[in-house]
Chain A
Amino acid sequence: MKIKVIALNTFKEAIRDRILYLLFFFAATSIIFSLVLALVTVGDKIKIIKDVGLASLSLFGALMAILIGTGLVYKEIEKRTIFTLLSKPIGRAEFLLGKFFGLALTLLVMLLLMSLIFLALVFFHTFKLEWRIGLAIFYIFLELILLTSVAILFSSFTTPILSSLFSLSFYLIGHFSWGLEILIKKKKSGLARILLQFLYTLLPDLENFNFKTEVVHRLPISFKFLSYSLLYGLVYTLFILILAVLVFRRRDFT
Protein backbone atom coordinates (compact mmCIF):
# COMPACT_ATOMS: atom_id res chain seq x y z
CA MET A 1 0.00 0.00 0.00
CA LYS A 2 2.79 2.44 0.95
CA ILE A 3 4.74 1.38 -2.13
CA LYS A 4 1.68 2.15 -4.24
CA VAL A 5 1.31 5.63 -2.73
CA ILE A 6 4.99 6.44 -3.33
CA ALA A 7 4.79 4.96 -6.81
CA LEU A 8 1.82 7.09 -7.78
CA ASN A 9 3.43 10.17 -6.31
CA THR A 10 6.66 9.44 -8.18
CA PHE A 11 4.68 8.95 -11.37
CA LYS A 12 2.92 12.31 -10.94
CA GLU A 13 6.26 13.97 -10.31
CA ALA A 14 8.13 12.27 -13.15
CA ILE A 15 5.39 12.85 -15.71
CA ARG A 16 5.88 16.60 -15.19
CA ASP A 17 9.61 16.42 -15.85
CA ARG A 18 10.57 18.54 -18.86
CA ILE A 19 13.29 16.14 -19.93
CA LEU A 20 10.62 13.53 -20.50
CA TYR A 21 8.72 15.71 -22.94
CA LEU A 22 11.87 16.77 -24.70
CA LEU A 23 12.86 13.16 -25.20
CA PHE A 24 9.32 12.24 -26.22
CA PHE A 25 9.37 15.03 -28.78
CA PHE A 26 12.65 13.80 -30.25
CA ALA A 27 11.43 10.22 -30.24
CA ALA A 28 8.19 11.17 -32.02
CA THR A 29 10.12 13.30 -34.52
CA SER A 30 12.54 10.48 -35.17
CA ILE A 31 9.72 7.99 -35.72
CA ILE A 32 7.95 10.34 -38.12
CA PHE A 33 11.26 11.11 -39.82
CA SER A 34 11.43 7.43 -40.75
CA LEU A 35 8.80 8.28 -43.39
CA VAL A 36 11.29 10.61 -45.05
CA LEU A 37 14.03 7.98 -44.91
CA ALA A 38 11.64 5.44 -46.36
CA LEU A 39 11.07 7.74 -49.34
CA VAL A 40 14.74 7.74 -50.32
CA THR A 41 15.25 4.02 -50.05
CA VAL A 42 15.20 1.56 -52.93
CA GLY A 43 13.21 -1.49 -51.97
CA ASP A 44 11.32 -2.28 -48.79
CA LYS A 45 10.09 0.98 -47.24
CA ILE A 46 8.41 -0.65 -44.29
CA LYS A 47 11.71 -2.16 -43.16
CA ILE A 48 13.17 1.31 -42.71
CA ILE A 49 10.09 2.49 -40.79
CA LYS A 50 10.20 -0.51 -38.47
CA ASP A 51 13.95 -0.24 -37.86
CA VAL A 52 13.88 3.47 -37.12
CA GLY A 53 10.74 3.13 -35.02
CA LEU A 54 12.03 0.32 -32.84
CA ALA A 55 15.46 1.92 -32.51
CA SER A 56 13.83 5.20 -31.40
CA LEU A 57 11.64 3.46 -28.83
CA SER A 58 14.66 1.64 -27.44
CA LEU A 59 17.13 4.52 -27.47
CA PHE A 60 14.85 7.27 -26.18
CA GLY A 61 13.29 4.92 -23.68
CA ALA A 62 16.74 4.14 -22.35
CA LEU A 63 17.56 7.85 -22.13
CA MET A 64 14.33 8.48 -20.23
CA ALA A 65 15.08 5.66 -17.80
CA ILE A 66 18.62 6.86 -17.20
CA LEU A 67 18.09 10.63 -17.08
CA ILE A 68 15.03 10.53 -14.86
CA GLY A 69 15.97 7.48 -12.82
CA THR A 70 19.37 8.82 -11.82
CA GLY A 71 17.82 11.89 -10.24
CA LEU A 72 14.93 10.22 -8.49
CA VAL A 73 16.50 9.39 -5.15
CA TYR A 74 19.26 11.97 -5.30
CA LYS A 75 16.73 14.83 -5.52
CA GLU A 76 15.06 13.71 -2.31
CA ILE A 77 18.44 13.57 -0.57
CA GLU A 78 19.59 16.93 -1.88
CA LYS A 79 16.35 18.70 -1.02
CA ARG A 80 16.40 16.98 2.40
CA THR A 81 12.86 15.77 1.87
CA ILE A 82 14.24 12.30 2.48
CA PHE A 83 14.30 13.00 6.20
CA THR A 84 10.62 13.91 6.18
CA LEU A 85 9.77 10.80 4.23
CA LEU A 86 11.82 8.39 6.30
CA SER A 87 10.56 9.85 9.55
CA LYS A 88 7.18 8.46 8.57
CA PRO A 89 6.41 4.77 9.21
CA ILE A 90 7.90 3.75 5.89
CA GLY A 91 10.84 1.49 5.34
CA ARG A 92 13.74 2.41 3.13
CA ALA A 93 13.02 -0.61 0.96
CA GLU A 94 9.41 0.48 0.49
CA PHE A 95 10.54 3.98 -0.41
CA LEU A 96 12.99 2.69 -3.01
CA LEU A 97 10.54 0.22 -4.50
CA GLY A 98 7.92 2.93 -4.66
CA LYS A 99 10.31 5.07 -6.65
CA PHE A 100 11.09 2.14 -8.93
CA PHE A 101 7.46 1.33 -9.69
CA GLY A 102 6.64 4.99 -10.14
CA LEU A 103 9.28 5.40 -12.80
CA ALA A 104 8.34 2.07 -14.37
CA LEU A 105 4.77 3.33 -14.70
CA THR A 106 6.05 6.59 -16.22
CA LEU A 107 8.12 4.68 -18.75
CA LEU A 108 5.18 2.45 -19.57
CA VAL A 109 2.99 5.44 -20.35
CA MET A 110 5.68 7.13 -22.46
CA LEU A 111 6.49 3.91 -24.27
CA LEU A 112 2.80 3.34 -25.02
CA LEU A 113 2.48 6.85 -26.42
CA MET A 114 5.56 6.45 -28.62
CA SER A 115 4.38 3.00 -29.68
CA LEU A 116 1.01 4.41 -30.73
CA ILE A 117 2.70 6.79 -33.14
CA PHE A 118 4.97 4.04 -34.42
CA LEU A 119 2.19 1.47 -34.84
CA ALA A 120 -0.02 4.03 -36.55
CA LEU A 121 2.73 4.63 -39.13
CA VAL A 122 3.22 0.91 -39.68
CA PHE A 123 -0.52 0.33 -39.99
CA PHE A 124 -0.82 3.21 -42.47
CA HIS A 125 1.68 1.41 -44.71
CA THR A 126 0.74 -2.22 -44.24
CA PHE A 127 -2.91 -2.08 -43.11
CA LYS A 128 -2.23 -4.74 -40.53
CA LEU A 129 -0.94 -4.98 -37.00
CA GLU A 130 1.79 -7.52 -36.37
CA TRP A 131 1.90 -9.18 -32.99
CA ARG A 132 5.66 -9.49 -33.35
CA ILE A 133 6.08 -5.74 -33.13
CA GLY A 134 4.14 -5.80 -29.87
CA LEU A 135 6.49 -8.51 -28.66
CA ALA A 136 9.57 -6.44 -29.53
CA ILE A 137 8.08 -3.44 -27.70
CA PHE A 138 7.31 -5.56 -24.65
CA TYR A 139 10.93 -6.69 -24.43
CA ILE A 140 12.13 -3.12 -24.95
CA PHE A 141 10.02 -2.27 -21.90
CA LEU A 142 11.63 -5.12 -19.98
CA GLU A 143 15.05 -3.74 -20.84
CA LEU A 144 13.94 -0.29 -19.68
CA ILE A 145 12.74 -1.74 -16.37
CA LEU A 146 16.16 -3.24 -15.81
CA LEU A 147 17.82 0.07 -16.70
CA THR A 148 15.50 1.85 -14.30
CA SER A 149 16.56 -0.43 -11.45
CA VAL A 150 20.22 0.25 -12.31
CA ALA A 151 19.61 3.99 -12.42
CA ILE A 152 17.92 3.84 -9.01
CA LEU A 153 20.77 1.75 -7.60
CA PHE A 154 23.35 4.34 -8.60
CA SER A 155 21.08 7.19 -7.69
CA SER A 156 20.87 5.88 -4.13
CA PHE A 157 24.55 6.54 -3.39
CA THR A 158 26.05 8.92 -5.92
CA THR A 159 25.47 12.14 -7.85
CA PRO A 160 23.23 12.28 -10.96
CA ILE A 161 26.18 12.83 -13.31
CA LEU A 162 28.04 9.78 -12.08
CA SER A 163 24.81 7.76 -11.91
CA SER A 164 24.08 8.65 -15.54
CA LEU A 165 27.59 7.64 -16.57
CA PHE A 166 27.41 4.34 -14.70
CA SER A 167 23.93 3.60 -16.00
CA LEU A 168 24.98 4.40 -19.54
CA SER A 169 28.01 2.17 -19.11
CA PHE A 170 25.73 -0.60 -17.91
CA TYR A 171 23.64 -0.11 -21.05
CA LEU A 172 26.67 -0.19 -23.34
CA ILE A 173 28.23 -3.19 -21.59
CA GLY A 174 24.88 -4.94 -21.83
CA HIS A 175 24.93 -4.60 -25.60
CA PHE A 176 28.59 -5.40 -25.93
CA SER A 177 28.79 -8.58 -23.88
CA TRP A 178 28.70 -10.79 -26.96
CA GLY A 179 32.10 -9.30 -27.79
CA LEU A 180 33.30 -10.81 -24.53
CA GLU A 181 31.88 -14.13 -25.62
CA ILE A 182 34.00 -14.00 -28.76
CA LEU A 183 37.06 -13.22 -26.63
CA ILE A 184 36.35 -16.21 -24.37
CA LYS A 185 36.15 -18.53 -27.37
CA LYS A 186 39.57 -17.35 -28.52
CA LYS A 187 41.14 -17.89 -25.11
CA LYS A 188 42.70 -21.22 -24.25
CA SER A 189 41.41 -22.94 -21.13
CA GLY A 190 42.91 -21.69 -17.90
CA LEU A 191 42.36 -19.20 -15.10
CA ALA A 192 41.96 -16.25 -17.50
CA ARG A 193 39.22 -18.07 -19.37
CA ILE A 194 37.44 -19.01 -16.15
CA LEU A 195 37.57 -15.42 -14.93
CA LEU A 196 36.32 -14.12 -18.27
CA GLN A 197 33.54 -16.69 -18.22
CA PHE A 198 32.52 -15.56 -14.73
CA LEU A 199 32.61 -11.94 -15.79
CA TYR A 200 30.57 -12.72 -18.88
CA THR A 201 27.92 -14.50 -16.81
CA LEU A 202 27.79 -11.74 -14.22
CA LEU A 203 27.64 -8.80 -16.63
CA PRO A 204 24.25 -8.00 -18.17
CA ASP A 205 23.37 -9.21 -21.63
CA LEU A 206 20.78 -6.80 -22.90
CA GLU A 207 20.85 -8.44 -26.33
CA ASN A 208 18.55 -11.04 -24.81
CA PHE A 209 15.78 -8.44 -24.98
CA ASN A 210 16.62 -7.29 -28.48
CA PHE A 211 14.21 -8.76 -31.01
CA LYS A 212 14.29 -5.93 -33.53
CA THR A 213 16.01 -7.98 -36.25
CA GLU A 214 13.67 -10.95 -35.79
CA VAL A 215 10.61 -8.72 -35.97
CA VAL A 216 11.75 -6.78 -39.02
CA HIS A 217 12.83 -9.85 -40.98
CA ARG A 218 10.01 -12.07 -39.68
CA LEU A 219 12.49 -14.64 -38.39
CA PRO A 220 11.21 -17.35 -36.04
CA ILE A 221 11.50 -16.65 -32.31
CA SER A 222 11.70 -19.59 -29.99
CA PHE A 223 9.11 -19.57 -27.20
CA LYS A 224 11.73 -21.08 -24.92
CA PHE A 225 14.11 -18.20 -25.59
CA LEU A 226 11.32 -15.68 -24.96
CA SER A 227 10.43 -17.32 -21.65
CA TYR A 228 14.02 -17.45 -20.44
CA SER A 229 14.66 -13.88 -21.54
CA LEU A 230 11.65 -12.73 -19.56
CA LEU A 231 12.81 -14.64 -16.52
CA TYR A 232 16.36 -13.34 -16.92
CA GLY A 233 15.11 -9.76 -17.10
CA LEU A 234 12.90 -10.08 -14.05
CA VAL A 235 15.48 -11.88 -11.94
CA TYR A 236 18.28 -9.48 -12.88
CA THR A 237 16.00 -6.54 -12.06
CA LEU A 238 15.19 -8.10 -8.71
CA PHE A 239 18.90 -8.62 -8.04
CA ILE A 240 19.68 -4.96 -8.78
CA LEU A 241 16.79 -3.79 -6.61
CA ILE A 242 18.01 -5.96 -3.74
CA LEU A 243 21.47 -4.39 -4.12
CA ALA A 244 19.88 -0.95 -4.20
CA VAL A 245 17.93 -1.65 -1.04
CA LEU A 246 21.03 -2.98 0.75
CA VAL A 247 23.06 0.09 -0.24
CA PHE A 248 20.26 2.48 0.62
CA ARG A 249 19.68 0.90 4.05
CA ARG A 250 23.29 1.53 5.02
CA ARG A 251 23.31 5.05 3.67
CA ASP A 252 23.79 7.75 6.26
CA PHE A 253 22.12 10.97 5.15
CA THR A 254 23.56 13.24 7.85
Chain B
Amino acid sequence: MGILTCLLFMGLKLKLEDIPRKKIPGSSIIYIPSGKYLKLATFGYSSFLADLVYLWAIQYYGDLSITDRFRYFEHIFSIISELDPHYVDPYEVAALIALYDAKDISLALKMLDLGFSKNPDMWIFPLEAGHYAQVYKRDIALAKEYYKKAMEIEGAPQIARRLYANAAFRTMDFQTAWETWLEVYKTAQDEQIKKIASNHLYQVKAAVDLRAIRAALVKFKLKYRRYPAELVQLVRAGFIPFIPKDFDGKDYLYNPQTGEVKTPVIPWKR
Protein backbone atom coordinates (compact mmCIF):
# COMPACT_ATOMS: atom_id res chain seq x y z
CA MET B 1 0.00 0.00 0.00
CA GLY B 2 2.81 2.34 0.96
CA ILE B 3 4.75 1.61 -2.23
CA LEU B 4 1.65 2.17 -4.35
CA THR B 5 0.91 5.57 -2.84
CA CYS B 6 4.57 6.51 -3.19
CA LEU B 7 4.56 5.62 -6.87
CA LEU B 8 1.27 7.45 -7.28
CA PHE B 9 2.50 10.77 -5.89
CA MET B 10 5.77 10.53 -7.82
CA GLY B 11 3.80 10.02 -11.01
CA LEU B 12 1.50 12.93 -10.18
CA LYS B 13 4.52 15.18 -9.57
CA LEU B 14 5.95 14.36 -12.98
CA LYS B 15 2.57 15.04 -14.50
CA LEU B 16 2.28 18.42 -12.76
CA GLU B 17 5.67 19.47 -14.11
CA ASP B 18 4.40 19.00 -17.64
CA ILE B 19 1.49 21.36 -17.14
CA PRO B 20 2.53 24.92 -18.06
CA ARG B 21 1.94 27.47 -15.40
CA LYS B 22 1.96 31.20 -15.90
CA LYS B 23 4.38 33.06 -13.68
CA ILE B 24 4.66 36.76 -13.10
CA PRO B 25 8.20 37.62 -14.16
CA GLY B 26 10.25 38.56 -11.15
CA SER B 27 7.43 37.68 -8.79
CA SER B 28 9.76 35.87 -6.43
CA ILE B 29 11.62 39.04 -5.62
CA ILE B 30 8.85 41.58 -5.38
CA TYR B 31 8.34 41.01 -1.67
CA ILE B 32 11.94 41.05 -0.54
CA PRO B 33 12.31 43.93 1.91
CA SER B 34 15.20 46.36 1.77
CA GLY B 35 18.61 45.10 2.82
CA LYS B 36 18.61 47.23 5.94
CA TYR B 37 15.53 45.44 7.32
CA LEU B 38 16.52 42.06 5.96
CA LYS B 39 19.79 42.31 7.85
CA LEU B 40 17.81 42.44 11.09
CA ALA B 41 16.44 38.99 10.31
CA THR B 42 19.73 37.33 9.43
CA PHE B 43 20.81 36.65 13.02
CA GLY B 44 24.51 36.81 12.30
CA TYR B 45 24.39 35.17 8.87
CA SER B 46 24.21 38.34 6.76
CA SER B 47 27.32 37.48 4.77
CA PHE B 48 25.99 34.01 3.96
CA LEU B 49 22.62 35.43 2.96
CA ALA B 50 24.37 37.99 0.75
CA ASP B 51 26.05 35.09 -1.04
CA LEU B 52 22.74 33.35 -1.59
CA VAL B 53 21.05 36.49 -2.91
CA TYR B 54 24.03 37.14 -5.19
CA LEU B 55 24.00 33.59 -6.55
CA TRP B 56 20.28 33.88 -7.13
CA ALA B 57 20.76 37.26 -8.85
CA ILE B 58 23.34 35.80 -11.26
CA GLN B 59 20.89 33.12 -12.34
CA TYR B 60 17.99 35.58 -12.47
CA TYR B 61 19.75 38.14 -14.65
CA GLY B 62 21.09 35.40 -16.84
CA ASP B 63 17.53 34.38 -17.73
CA LEU B 64 16.86 36.35 -20.90
CA SER B 65 13.23 35.19 -21.02
CA ILE B 66 12.37 37.52 -18.12
CA THR B 67 11.85 40.64 -20.12
CA ASP B 68 11.36 43.07 -17.23
CA ARG B 69 14.16 41.66 -15.10
CA PHE B 70 15.77 45.07 -14.67
CA ARG B 71 12.79 46.55 -12.87
CA TYR B 72 14.16 45.68 -9.43
CA PHE B 73 17.81 45.62 -10.40
CA GLU B 74 18.93 48.37 -8.09
CA HIS B 75 16.84 46.98 -5.23
CA ILE B 76 18.38 43.51 -5.51
CA PHE B 77 21.95 44.68 -5.59
CA SER B 78 21.39 47.21 -2.85
CA ILE B 79 20.15 44.31 -0.69
CA ILE B 80 23.41 42.47 -1.28
CA SER B 81 25.29 45.68 -0.49
CA GLU B 82 23.44 46.16 2.80
CA LEU B 83 23.91 42.55 3.84
CA ASP B 84 27.60 42.46 3.02
CA PRO B 85 28.99 45.86 2.02
CA HIS B 86 32.52 44.52 1.54
CA TYR B 87 31.52 41.88 -0.98
CA VAL B 88 33.22 43.29 -4.09
CA ASP B 89 32.09 40.98 -6.87
CA PRO B 90 28.38 41.94 -6.86
CA TYR B 91 29.13 45.62 -7.52
CA GLU B 92 31.38 44.79 -10.47
CA VAL B 93 29.06 42.19 -11.91
CA ALA B 94 26.06 44.49 -11.43
CA ALA B 95 27.88 47.19 -13.38
CA LEU B 96 28.67 44.71 -16.16
CA ILE B 97 25.06 43.55 -16.34
CA ALA B 98 23.76 47.13 -16.28
CA LEU B 99 26.09 48.14 -19.09
CA TYR B 100 26.02 45.18 -21.45
CA ASP B 101 22.60 43.76 -20.73
CA ALA B 102 20.43 46.67 -19.66
CA LYS B 103 22.43 49.11 -21.81
CA ASP B 104 22.20 51.62 -18.98
CA ILE B 105 25.55 53.28 -18.38
CA SER B 106 24.19 55.52 -15.63
CA LEU B 107 22.99 52.48 -13.72
CA ALA B 108 26.37 50.82 -14.18
CA LEU B 109 28.10 53.88 -12.76
CA LYS B 110 25.61 53.97 -9.92
CA MET B 111 26.54 50.41 -8.95
CA LEU B 112 30.23 51.23 -8.97
CA ASP B 113 29.57 54.40 -6.95
CA LEU B 114 27.69 52.29 -4.42
CA GLY B 115 30.61 49.90 -4.19
CA PHE B 116 33.01 52.78 -3.70
CA SER B 117 30.85 54.42 -1.03
CA LYS B 118 30.91 51.18 0.97
CA ASN B 119 34.58 50.48 0.26
CA PRO B 120 36.43 53.79 -0.02
CA ASP B 121 39.80 52.02 0.09
CA MET B 122 39.14 50.02 -3.10
CA TRP B 123 40.57 51.72 -6.21
CA ILE B 124 38.97 49.22 -8.55
CA PHE B 125 35.57 50.91 -8.36
CA PRO B 126 36.55 54.43 -9.46
CA LEU B 127 39.03 53.00 -11.97
CA GLU B 128 36.35 50.89 -13.62
CA ALA B 129 33.87 53.76 -13.44
CA GLY B 130 36.41 56.00 -15.16
CA HIS B 131 36.84 53.44 -17.90
CA TYR B 132 33.07 53.16 -18.39
CA ALA B 133 32.65 56.93 -18.40
CA GLN B 134 35.42 57.36 -20.95
CA VAL B 135 34.69 54.51 -23.31
CA TYR B 136 30.92 54.13 -23.11
CA LYS B 137 29.57 57.44 -21.93
CA ARG B 138 32.32 59.40 -23.74
CA ASP B 139 32.35 61.84 -20.82
CA ILE B 140 36.04 62.52 -20.41
CA ALA B 141 35.49 65.12 -17.67
CA LEU B 142 33.62 62.55 -15.59
CA ALA B 143 36.26 59.92 -16.34
CA LYS B 144 38.93 62.37 -15.17
CA GLU B 145 37.15 62.76 -11.80
CA TYR B 146 36.97 59.01 -11.36
CA TYR B 147 40.60 58.45 -12.31
CA LYS B 148 41.61 61.11 -9.79
CA LYS B 149 39.73 59.29 -7.03
CA ALA B 150 41.34 55.99 -8.07
CA MET B 151 44.91 57.27 -8.16
CA GLU B 152 44.62 58.86 -4.71
CA ILE B 153 43.90 55.50 -3.08
CA GLU B 154 46.85 53.66 -1.61
CA GLY B 155 47.86 50.67 -3.67
CA ALA B 156 46.22 51.93 -6.87
CA PRO B 157 48.08 50.85 -10.00
CA GLN B 158 50.19 53.46 -11.79
CA ILE B 159 47.97 53.26 -14.80
CA ALA B 160 45.32 55.20 -12.87
CA ARG B 161 47.67 58.18 -12.79
CA ARG B 162 48.41 57.86 -16.51
CA LEU B 163 44.73 57.61 -17.35
CA TYR B 164 44.08 60.70 -15.25
CA ALA B 165 46.82 62.62 -17.03
CA ASN B 166 45.44 61.57 -20.39
CA ALA B 167 41.90 62.58 -19.40
CA ALA B 168 43.22 65.94 -18.20
CA PHE B 169 44.88 66.47 -21.58
CA ARG B 170 41.72 65.57 -23.44
CA THR B 171 39.67 68.01 -21.36
CA MET B 172 42.34 70.65 -22.19
CA ASP B 173 43.50 70.91 -18.61
CA PHE B 174 47.09 71.16 -19.84
CA GLN B 175 48.52 72.31 -16.52
CA THR B 176 47.26 69.21 -14.70
CA ALA B 177 48.22 66.97 -17.62
CA TRP B 178 51.75 68.38 -17.63
CA GLU B 179 52.23 68.05 -13.87
CA THR B 180 50.88 64.50 -13.79
CA TRP B 181 52.89 63.28 -16.77
CA LEU B 182 55.98 64.85 -15.28
CA GLU B 183 55.37 62.96 -12.06
CA VAL B 184 54.89 59.74 -14.01
CA TYR B 185 58.13 60.42 -15.89
CA LYS B 186 60.12 61.06 -12.74
CA THR B 187 58.76 58.07 -10.82
CA ALA B 188 58.68 55.55 -13.68
CA GLN B 189 60.66 52.42 -12.91
CA ASP B 190 60.24 51.06 -16.41
CA GLU B 191 61.99 52.53 -19.48
CA GLN B 192 58.92 51.96 -21.57
CA ILE B 193 56.70 53.95 -19.17
CA LYS B 194 59.33 56.68 -19.12
CA LYS B 195 59.24 56.82 -22.91
CA ILE B 196 55.42 56.96 -22.91
CA ALA B 197 55.46 59.75 -20.33
CA SER B 198 58.05 61.62 -22.38
CA ASN B 199 55.90 61.37 -25.49
CA HIS B 200 52.90 62.68 -23.59
CA LEU B 201 54.93 65.54 -22.15
CA TYR B 202 55.97 66.37 -25.70
CA GLN B 203 52.33 66.28 -26.74
CA VAL B 204 51.17 68.51 -23.86
CA LYS B 205 53.90 71.08 -24.45
CA ALA B 206 53.19 71.05 -28.14
CA ALA B 207 49.48 71.61 -27.50
CA VAL B 208 50.17 74.60 -25.25
CA ASP B 209 52.81 76.07 -27.57
CA LEU B 210 50.85 75.60 -30.75
CA ARG B 211 47.76 77.12 -29.16
CA ALA B 212 49.76 80.23 -28.23
CA ILE B 213 51.41 80.43 -31.66
CA ARG B 214 48.11 79.95 -33.51
CA ALA B 215 46.42 82.65 -31.41
CA ALA B 216 49.26 85.03 -32.27
CA LEU B 217 48.97 84.10 -35.97
CA VAL B 218 45.25 84.91 -35.92
CA LYS B 219 45.94 88.30 -34.38
CA PHE B 220 48.75 88.95 -36.95
CA LYS B 221 46.47 88.00 -39.83
CA LEU B 222 43.71 90.23 -38.57
CA LYS B 223 46.05 93.20 -38.35
CA TYR B 224 48.16 92.73 -41.46
CA ARG B 225 45.77 90.65 -43.62
CA ARG B 226 48.52 88.10 -44.25
CA TYR B 227 50.50 85.53 -42.38
CA PRO B 228 54.04 86.39 -41.27
CA ALA B 229 56.93 85.14 -43.43
CA GLU B 230 58.52 83.70 -40.33
CA LEU B 231 57.33 83.14 -36.77
CA VAL B 232 59.83 85.57 -35.27
CA GLN B 233 57.76 88.37 -36.79
CA LEU B 234 55.05 87.52 -34.25
CA VAL B 235 57.47 88.44 -31.48
CA ARG B 236 58.49 91.70 -33.20
CA ALA B 237 54.82 92.55 -33.63
CA GLY B 238 54.25 91.95 -29.93
CA PHE B 239 51.69 89.16 -30.31
CA ILE B 240 53.78 86.61 -28.45
CA PRO B 241 56.69 87.16 -25.99
CA PHE B 242 58.87 84.44 -27.60
CA ILE B 243 58.61 81.55 -30.04
CA PRO B 244 58.69 78.36 -28.03
CA LYS B 245 60.57 75.28 -29.13
CA ASP B 246 59.27 71.75 -28.84
CA PHE B 247 60.06 69.40 -25.94
CA ASP B 248 63.23 68.26 -27.75
CA GLY B 249 64.39 71.82 -28.35
CA LYS B 250 63.54 71.84 -32.05
CA ASP B 251 61.59 74.51 -33.95
CA TYR B 252 57.98 73.97 -34.83
CA LEU B 253 57.28 73.67 -38.55
CA TYR B 254 55.55 76.68 -40.07
CA ASN B 255 53.95 77.14 -43.49
CA PRO B 256 53.72 80.91 -44.26
CA GLN B 257 51.34 80.26 -47.19
CA THR B 258 48.63 78.59 -45.14
CA GLY B 259 49.57 79.78 -41.64
CA GLU B 260 49.72 76.14 -40.51
CA VAL B 261 52.06 75.32 -37.66
CA LYS B 262 52.82 71.80 -36.45
CA THR B 263 55.29 69.66 -34.56
CA PRO B 264 58.46 68.58 -36.40
CA VAL B 265 57.81 64.96 -35.36
CA ILE B 266 54.82 62.81 -34.45
CA PRO B 267 55.04 62.36 -30.66
CA TRP B 268 54.73 58.53 -30.83
CA LYS B 269 57.51 58.28 -33.37
CA ARG B 270 60.14 60.16 -31.41
Contacts and interface: CB of A to CB of B under 8 A. Distances in A.
B105 to A, nearest CB: 20
B72 interface: no
A41 B89 CA distance: 9
A179 B40 contact: yes
A176 interface: yes
Contacts of A37: 51, 55
Main secondary structure on B side of the interface with A: helix
Given A37-B55, A176-B43, A179-B40, A52 B48 contact: yes
A48 B51 contact: yes
A62 to B, nearest CB: 10
Contact of A217 (B40, B46, B86): B86
B55 A40 contact: yes
A220 to B, nearest CB: 12
Interface-central residue, B45, B58, B59, B90, by most chain A CB under 10 Å: B45
Nearest to B45: A55
Interface residues of A, number: 27
Contacts of B44: 58, 175, 206-207, 210, 212
B92 A175 contact: no
Given A43-B93, A172-B43, A217-B86, A55 B48 contact: yes
Interface string A28-51: 000000000100111110011001
A59 interface: yes
Nearest to A44: B89
Contact of B47 (A42, A51, A172): A51
Contacts of A59: 45
Given A44-B88, A172-B43, A213-B86, A52 B58 contact: no
A176 B48 contact: no
B54 interface: yes
Contacts of A44: 88-89
Interface string B25-66: 000000000000000101111111011001100110000000
Interface of B: 40, 42-48, 50-51, 54-55, 58-59, 84, 86-90, 92-93
Given A48-B55, A51-B47, 18 more contacts: A40-B58, A40-B59, A41-B55, A41-B89, A42-B93, A43-B88, A48-B51, A51-B48, A51-B50, A52-B48, A55-B47, A55-B48, A58-B44, A175-B44, A176-B40, A176-B43, A213-B47, A217-B87
Those 4 A-B pairs whose CB atoms lie nearest each other, nearest first = A43-B89, A175-B43, A55-B48, A175-B44
7 contacts: A41-B54, A41-B89, A43-B89, A48-B55, A51-B50, A179-B40, A210-B44
